[in-house]
């Protein structure tokens, strides 16, 4: 019986999918227009997981997709937060529109607006050079995968997202006014703890 349980546990751990630390090549030779390339360059040259955390960020997204014009600006709201079980990120993608509907959300407003299910979908995993989160389907395969890095000087966030059936989102965002806690969190040995 013990052997059977060990074999069953081993099978599940082998089949469990984890997001890699980095997404691989994002822009091929002809895949990205200049604005996308600028965001990807920021992602590639700032190898840091989010340091200003928890936080509410907002910004722009462009898509490598069969169904969306890659040069059309779409919008992003990104809540990164923690709860007793760990950290999570809740990206909200706004397609089209005249402006970013999440651009003036404070951290507290974002916490009240974002669906609580996001806390269960994570966890947000902190790597040496990025943070990742992924959302599985019922069979455990990834539907959405998010990679996040941060420019420590400007607090700018770079988010790359694989979205099954839609394509890849290439996004940048900045902290909203009132979007950061006064005592940001930092990573210590894989755990979140106050930096003060």
pLDDT tens digits along 171-196:
999 999 999 986 555 544 344 443 33
Q: What is the pLDDT of residues 82-118, one digit of tens each?
A: 888 889 999 999 998 889 999 999 999 999 998 888 8
**Exposed/middle/buried for 188, CB within 10 Å: 0-12, 13-18, 19+?**
exposed
Q: What is the mean pLDDT of residues 44-58?
A: 96
Most confident of 24-28, 74-78, 137-141: 74-78
CB 131 within 8 A of CB 57: no
pLDDT at 18: 82
pTM of this structure: 0.83
Q: pLDDT tens across 137-152, in order?
A: 888 889 999 999 999 9
């Amino acid at each position: 019986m013990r052997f059977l349980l060990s074999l069953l546990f081993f099978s599940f751990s082998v089949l469990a999918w984890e997001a890699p630390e980095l997404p691989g090549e994002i822009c091929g030779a002809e895949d990205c227009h200049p604005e996308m390339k600028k965001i990807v360059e920021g992602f590639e040259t700032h190898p840091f997981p989010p340091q200003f955390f928890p936080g509410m960020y907002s910004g722009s997204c462009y898509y490598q997709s069969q169904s969306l014009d890659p040069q059309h600006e779409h919008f992003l709201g990104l809540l990164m937060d923690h709860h007793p079980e760990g950290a999570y990120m809740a990206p909200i993608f706004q397609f089209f529109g005249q402006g970013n509907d999440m651009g003036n959300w404070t951290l507290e407003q974002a916490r009240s607006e974002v669906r609580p299910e996001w806390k269960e979908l994570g966890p947000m995993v902190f790597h040496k050079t990025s943070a990742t989160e992924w959302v599985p389907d019922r069979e455990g395969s990834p539907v959405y995968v998010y990679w996040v890095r941060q420019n420590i000087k400007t607090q700018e966030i770079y988010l790359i997202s694989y979205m099954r059936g839609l394509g890849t989102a290439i996004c940048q965002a900045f902290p909203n006014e009132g979007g950061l806690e006064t005592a940001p969190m930092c990573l210590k040995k894989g755990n979140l703890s106050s930096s003060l």
